[in-house]
Amino acid sequence: MTVHEKNARVFKAFCDPNRLKILDMLRNGEQCAYALLEVLKIGQPTLSHHMKILTDAGIVRAWKEGKWMHYTLDMEGIQDVRDLMQEITSPREQ
C-alpha cells in the first residue's frame, strides 16, 4: 500500500456523517457496539462496515468482550492524523 493510499483511508474515515457521530461518541471513552447501535439507529451490518473503515484507518481500536464488540479511539492513530494534516498543509522544504 502506498503512502497516498494509506492517507486516503484516513480521509475516507472522516467522510461519513455516521462515522463522525461514532467518533464524537468515542470522545467520551469506550463504547459497546450495542450503545452505538441504539444511538445511531442503524443495523449491525452497517455498524460493522463503519467500524471496519475506522479501524482500518487506525483511528479506532476494537476488541470483543463477551458477545459484544467494544471500541475506543486509538490515540496513537489520532496523533498520526494530526501529523498527517500538519504535513500535507505545510510548505514543502526546498
Ramachandran region, residue 32 (left: φ > 0; alpha: ψ -120 to 50; beta: rest): beta
CATH code: domain 3-87 is: 1.10.10.10
Which residues, in sequence order, are CB contacts of 36 under 8 Å at separation 6+?
22, 25, 47, 71
Each domain of the chain, given as residue ranges in start order, spans: 3-87
Order of strands across the sheet that contains 31-32: 31-32, 68-73, 60-65
| pTM for the whole structure | 0.90
| Stretches in the chain below the pLDDT threshold 50 | none
How much is the pLDDT for 1?
A: 83
Q: Dump pLDDT digits (tens) for 28-47.
A: 999 999 999 999 999 999 99
pLDDT at 22: 97
- Give the distance from CA 61 to its chain's centroid: 8
Give CA–CA dist 50/22, Å, rounded: 9
